[in-house]
Structure 1
């Protein structure tokens, strides 16, 4: 008989149990062959022992054994569910013995010696059946395991998996329905799919949930909202989830007469994935792109879009639309006195107040800083805008709480009306801005409509811009330097370069009077390049006269970091004079507005790699400080003068200063205190762990010639090692 190849390749274990040695030897000779292992024993007890200790595929068993009967061994095999086959080989002719053996589980009964020639054939058959039984068992086990795995994957899947009958009722739902939506399997079985679909999406679900197609036209990634079960015990935070649904039809094939087949629609199989968090993230990103992050009002982009829409509607309807440019007067005083955090809170409260004055169709937006714009569409008369402006002025009369005190806010409002004051959104905004500056020039706290006469003031501003352009060409700028002192070393370790404009009419101007205009008009990069060139040239001259290693810090406009060439521009000035890069330090304000955070960080990191130092000015005045230190490659932080000013003998030192000094130590940063004006402030800061300081106590900002004299005197004092009051620095004011 030809046995299966895979069966032959696996050894077959045969056990011969007979008390006659000659019979055992004869049977062995008959059965031995390739792929078989033949064992033998002479008693039933030995056979049971072998069957207990190892796997035997086939037992050739005699009935009459010296200890126990072969029939008892068969019964033991049956009772113990031993996985083996038995062929009885016996000289007993009793039919009862054969019947009892077959009932006990024997597969064959062979009489000896007459039927011994049939044994090889019957053994082959028995082993083949044994192999088939084993294969069937293994296939069944694999199928069961596969089914368990499939059931586990379906039940534990993160997606909603379901089947519907042809009527759209649930026949199966996995466990995710309960964990996500709150519905158990028993609750949904037999219910229509419409019971879990959001009412507003019912039209989308009509064909998607009960999809009949199963080709490329079948529903794929359809966005749909599913209702959560209302269950007080679950305390669900949301009433629905957003899911993307894919579904296909299920069909059954049935045999009909004459080899024909019938294909019948049996229902729908679908999978839905929860994308609620992704939708929230997308909506958040979309909201942030079009709204101010502080007040949550529309930003310039969204405001301009709505303004253009209002203008288009006004053209069709023949009505008007007005734009208000709103600026909060005296807001800078809040920032300077109480800090930017209180200023931010004030802006949010102002935004809330302004919204109370508006109609549902009006749009309030924040332009930036303390500037807001208002869009008033669908006006019949220009004076309708004046009504809103008066409501705003009246609303602002109620004081705002700022740092535990009442702050009376005032506003300057400029109004431009479409179509008379401009044909484009940009023109309307510009004219409203001009009108707002007209109010400011006339004492603030009021409103006015734009007129053509106001262009004269605008032209004056343009004239000042031209003067600034001329100042760049005529080199009307100059630098003053304020020393930064190491108290412990009794020496100057750095200078802060401060820009001045020697105006031919108005005299010496500090940057606050023209830097904003330079930024707005686009001159700031030219001014920065002039400052850097002058600083590096001066450093080169000082180093040539033996004034030693002095670093100079330069205040840089935030707009510089929007320039792609900022790194090359800054480093080129240092390289041109062959200076060590670390003698130049770039100061940024802590409220540096960064639209492209990663890009700004990359540029700063490249500056650091070239050796140029980075410092944060006015540190501690905004909530973003720690975020700056964590993300930006900083060398130095400067304690803001407002915190230093609070240090006096009748007050305890500010815990903020303690915190800033601790932060500097923790991050391994250099620390400089600004605005030191008294000996007590110097001593207190030094005792707290701040060694480097600047301020009028040491020296006011001085021109280059005078600061050079100061540097030489500082070197002399350091060499002499002068000490006063236990501190290494000689307490000597230089506020002349």
Structure 2
């Protein structure tokens, strides 16, 4: 690509146009090049007379060539050009008129002065008719000769200047026409009544319309039908200068009768352009106003820019995964619907939908399959909605639904029922069938709020209430839910403060060996003593911590305090003391969890095999490959792993084959049902069989009666914990028991 600078403007010339540009503007015959020296050819058969003329006329800015005959003169003229030829009429081989005939036949520019002794009128008229600028008779006065030569050279200089100006004008016109015709912009002019008087060739590639068919046609032939009104004033612009129309966006219609139309498709029938137009006026003599002669316009194709702007705007208001409106667009539509509902005194509903156990899907099948599930869920939700409803993705696995113009609250119930019916068929995820469920909360305007934020928040509160009461159903917002929600938020804030102030502490529940008839270990249990509310049960604050990142801080606190205490016991009254502590499934999302536990154990000198981590069955299904790897790394560091609440969740037998766990813990729900007859409790017997079959240690929790002790002993469970033996107590109380045992 080449560039051309004209009056400070830079024009880019494509490769195929470069040769055309060179043809138009690089021809040496198109630009006159003149020397600063005047060259004069003297043709005189009298040598002395010729030399005297040269001596008389010679100056620094003149050069002379002398020849004595017509033949030699023609040879010089063929070889070069001269400014002036001083030509004798009578020459040995012909008259000077033959030289003038030669010059005229070749359209040569040289000026000619004839010098002759002939005094006939025919000679004078013959010379002047053939283009001589003067005729001098011999003998002549020197001043007369000088004057004639000076006058002839001035005429030559004037003709040269005129030719140079004409050449520049021709070249400028060609350049202007080339730039206009080769422009990527559409350039056209209109007559005063709005008809096309000129249009460049760009119209053919941009709109697919032959330019010759457009000349004389009204400008409406170019415009998209919907833009006729808006384009009227811009197309018939009369203003000039800073008041003229600039960057007016219009649409031009595309024809489909020509090949090679840029970007033409049946669904892309118009081109968006930015139009700059101004009026054209003929000059005046000062007494009459200027006469309007038409409109000059330049249209630039901005279709790509408009598509980019539309794409950016779309992405700003839509979810990229599902193509649904995002929370910003949803809130805008909700605000509009609220205003309409207020004017019409009607109802509208907001639904907050959360996909149950979505994290488990991501962890088990990968994020690509999780995205597939979200897309499939969005598709099914849309099937349940009316034409004017809006489904939006709030983010993650959360969706919101706007239900405007409800005749009654029952309409929202009908749609909720349709959603749960639509979700009954399974999804195909990761090559297997998956049944997806949702928790759904509903708020109603104006009953539950008058603003978009209130309605979304209260639908969210209702959804959370469903989450905490079993999932897979829907619920309308109730005022008491708000109080519970605020209580939860307050408790979350106070829990963060408790962590910062180190208000959490540990209690220890002993584990009793029936065979050795003594305490062989303890389980560390986290406790929170609120400075105002007193003791807050773990069942209240642990779920809150699980839903936030606070669980990590709590686990760090438990690991630190438990290891410090175990190290103190092992250095004091009981070297073989064992301790177990609980970790959340979310702790296994942390890349540093193994090192955090192991380094803390090393810091306090914990003996290998005496520290045990308790994990739930759900942890094994939660990102199974990663959890398995971390369990092995813990075992490699001398840290045991126990499956807590075994039998309450999904079957973990397949995992027991490949996971290096140490022990199984029988859940208290099974223990509480035990009596003297073990045969009546097949689950406990089955768990005992599994532990014995895999060579795992077995612990029972929640033991409260002697009958339960006997029943567990009967199935081979030696280690137990529960209120029958001891409630959770402080570290000091455990230390005192260990001291007394040592004394005994």
TM-score over 0.5 for the pair: yes
Q: For the structure 1 residues 172 and 9, does the alpha-carbon distance in structure 2 shift closer, same or farther, using more than 3 Å as the test?
A: closer
Q: For the structure 1 residues 104 and 676, does the alpha-carbon distance in structure 2 shift closer, same or farther, using more than 3 Å as the test?
A: farther
Report the equivalent of 1:16.
42
SS in 2 for 1:236: coil
- The structural deviation recorded for 1:275 is 1.8
Residues in 2 aligned to 1:90 and 1:383: alpha-carbon distance in whole angstroms: 123
SS in 1 for 2:631: coil
Residues 220 and 247 in structure 1, CA contact (< 8 A), matched pair in contact too: yes
Could you list the per-position Cα deviations for residues 201-251 of structure 1 after superposition, in whole angstroms to 9, with x for gaps in the alignment?
Answer: 211112110112225433222221211113374471321122222222222
Residues in 1 aligned to 2:337 and 2:79: alpha-carbon distance in whole angstroms: 93
Residues in 2 aligned to 1:272 and 1:252: alpha-carbon distance in whole angstroms: 23
SS in 2 for 1:434: helix
SS in 2 for 1:289: helix
Within 5 Å, which residues of 2 pair with 1:210-359? Answer: 210-231=236-257, 233=259, 234=261, 236-237=264-265, 238-253=268-283, 260-261=287-288, 263-359=290-386
- The structural deviation recorded for 1:435 is 1.5
SS in 2 for 1:334: helix
Residues in 2 aligned to 1:461 and 1:180: alpha-carbon distance in whole angstroms: 63
Residues 356 and 437 in structure 2, CA contact (< 8 A), matched pair in contact too: yes
SS in 2 for 1:358: coil
Structure 1 position 696 matched with structure 2 position 631? yes
Q: For the structure 1 residues 511 and 165, does the alpha-carbon distance in structure 2 shift closer, same or farther, using more than 3 Å as the test?
A: farther
Structure 1 position 71 matched with structure 2 position 102? no
Report the equivalent of 2:118.
92
Residues 439 and 446 in structure 1, CA contact (< 8 A), matched pair in contact too: yes
- The structural deviation recorded for 1:186 is 0.8
Report the equivalent of 2:421.
394
Report the equivalent of 1:164.
190
- The structural deviation recorded for 1:362 is 1.5
Residues in 2 aligned to 1:208 and 1:702: alpha-carbon distance in whole angstroms: 80
Within 5 Å, which residues of 2 pair with 1:18-33? Answer: 18-33=44-59
**Alignment counterpart, residue 517 of structure 1, candidates 548, 569, 575:** 548
- The structural deviation recorded for 1:306 is 2.2
Could you list the per-position Cα deviations for residues 613-668 of structure 1 after superposition, in whole angstroms to 9, with x for gaps in the alignment?
Answer: xxxxxxxxxxxxxxxxxxxxxxxxxxxx999978xxxxxxxxxxxxxxxxxxxxxx
SS in 2 for 1:322: strand
- The structural deviation recorded for 1:134 is 0.9
SS in 1 for 2:634: coil
Residues in 2 aligned to 1:477 and 1:63: alpha-carbon distance in whole angstroms: 132
SS in 2 for 1:310: helix
Could you list the per-position Cα deviations for residues 522-578 of structure 1 after superposition, in whole angstroms to 9, with x for gaps in the alignment?
Answer: x99xx59x99xx9xxx9xxxxxxxxxxxxxxxxxx9xxxxxxxxxxxxxxxxxxxxx
- The structural deviation recorded for 1:352 is 2.0
- The structural deviation recorded for 1:133 is 1.2
Report the equivalent of 1:474.
502
SS in 2 for 1:221: strand
Within 5 Å, which residues of 2 pair with 1:429-578? Answer: 429-455=456-482, 457-458=484-485, 461-462=488-489, 464-465=491-492, 466-474=494-502, 476=504, 502-503=526-527, 514=545, 516-518=547-549
Q: Give the CA RMSD over aligned residues.
A: 3.9
SS in 2 for 1:212: coil
Within 5 Å, which residues of 2 pair with 1:374-393? Answer: 374-393=401-420
Residues in 1 aligned to 2:79 and 2:293: alpha-carbon distance in whole angstroms: 53
Residues in 1 aligned to 2:155 and 2:306: alpha-carbon distance in whole angstroms: 61
Could you list the per-position Cα deviations for residues 403-433 of structure 1 after superposition, in whole angstroms to 9, with x for gaps in the alignment?
Answer: 3433322121111112222233222222211
Q: For the structure 1 residues 473 and 94, does the alpha-carbon distance in structure 2 shift closer, same or farther, using more than 3 Å as the test?
A: same
SS in 2 for 1:272: strand
**Alignment counterpart, residue 61 of structure 2, candidates 19, 23, 35:** 35
Report the equivalent of 1:150.
176
| Residue range with higher mean Cα deviation, 239-248 or 368-377 | 239-248
**Alignment counterpart, residue 146 of structure 2, candidates 120, 129, 141:** 120
SS in 2 for 1:421: coil
Residues in 1 aligned to 2:151 and 2:386: alpha-carbon distance in whole angstroms: 95
- The structural deviation recorded for 1:157 is 2.1
- The structural deviation recorded for 1:511 is 10
SS in 2 for 1:88: strand
SS in 2 for 1:143: helix
**Alignment counterpart, residue 136 of structure 2, candidates 95, 100, 110:** 110
Q: For the structure 1 residues 323 and 733, does the alpha-carbon distance in structure 2 shift closer, same or farther, using more than 3 Å as the test?
A: closer
Residues 242 and 279 in structure 1, CA contact (< 8 A), matched pair in contact too: yes
Residues 320 and 418 in structure 1, CA contact (< 8 A), matched pair in contact too: yes
Report the equivalent of 2:74.
48
Residues in 2 aligned to 1:73 and 1:422: alpha-carbon distance in whole angstroms: 108
Q: For the structure 1 residues 119 and 450, does the alpha-carbon distance in structure 2 shift closer, same or farther, using more than 3 Å as the test?
A: same
- The structural deviation recorded for 1:317 is 2.1
Report the equivalent of 1:365.
392
- The structural deviation recorded for 1:115 is 6.3
Residues 388 and 404 in structure 2, CA contact (< 8 A), matched pair in contact too: yes
Q: For the structure 1 residues 330 and 518, does the alpha-carbon distance in structure 2 shift closer, same or farther, using more than 3 Å as the test?
A: closer
Residues in 2 aligned to 1:501 and 1:217: alpha-carbon distance in whole angstroms: 80
Residues in 1 aligned to 2:446 and 2:243: alpha-carbon distance in whole angstroms: 51
Could you list the per-position Cα deviations for residues 504-530 of structure 1 after superposition, in whole angstroms to 9, with x for gaps in the alignment?
Answer: 5888999997364248xxx99xx59x9
Residues in 2 aligned to 1:417 and 1:218: alpha-carbon distance in whole angstroms: 53
Residues in 2 aligned to 1:277 and 1:177: alpha-carbon distance in whole angstroms: 17
Q: For the structure 1 residues 382 and 35, does the alpha-carbon distance in structure 2 shift closer, same or farther, using more than 3 Å as the test?
A: same
- The structural deviation recorded for 1:144 is 0.5
- The structural deviation recorded for 1:341 is 1.1
Q: For the structure 1 residues 439 and 71, does the alpha-carbon distance in structure 2 shift closer, same or farther, using more than 3 Å as the test?
A: same
Residues 85 and 130 in structure 1, CA contact (< 8 A), matched pair in contact too: yes
SS in 1 for 2:90: coil
Residues in 2 aligned to 1:304 and 1:81: alpha-carbon distance in whole angstroms: 83
Could you list the per-position Cα deviations for residues 578-634 of structure 1 after superposition, in whole angstroms to 9, with x for gaps in the alignment?
Answer: xxxxxxx9999xxxxxxxxxxxxxxxxxxxxxxxxxxxxxxxxxxxxxxxxxxxxxx
Q: Any gaps of 5 or more consecutive residues in structure 2? A: 1-32, 507-523, 529-535, 565-585, 594-619, 641-658, 664-744
**Alignment counterpart, residue 435 of structure 2, candidates 399, 402, 408:** 408
Residues in 2 aligned to 1:8 and 1:432: alpha-carbon distance in whole angstroms: 90
- The structural deviation recorded for 1:374 is 0.8
Could you list the per-position Cα deviations for residues 674-693 of structure 1 after superposition, in whole angstroms to 9, with x for gaps in the alignment?
Answer: 6674xxxxxxxxxxxxxxxx
Structure 1 position 206 matched with structure 2 position 232? yes
SS in 1 for 2:178: helix
Residues in 1 aligned to 2:135 and 2:482: alpha-carbon distance in whole angstroms: 122
Residues in 2 aligned to 1:515 and 1:702: alpha-carbon distance in whole angstroms: 27
Residues 364 and 624 in structure 2, CA contact (< 8 A), matched pair in contact too: no
- The structural deviation recorded for 1:98 is 3.6
Structure 1 position 420 matched with structure 2 position 447? yes
Residues 182 and 228 in structure 1, CA contact (< 8 A), matched pair in contact too: yes
Could you list the per-position Cα deviations for residues 341-372 of structure 1 after superposition, in whole angstroms to 9, with x for gaps in the alignment?
Answer: 12112212221221222122221111111110
TM-score computed with the length of structure 2 as normaliser: 0.64
- The structural deviation recorded for 1:60 is 0.7
- The structural deviation recorded for 1:325 is 0.7
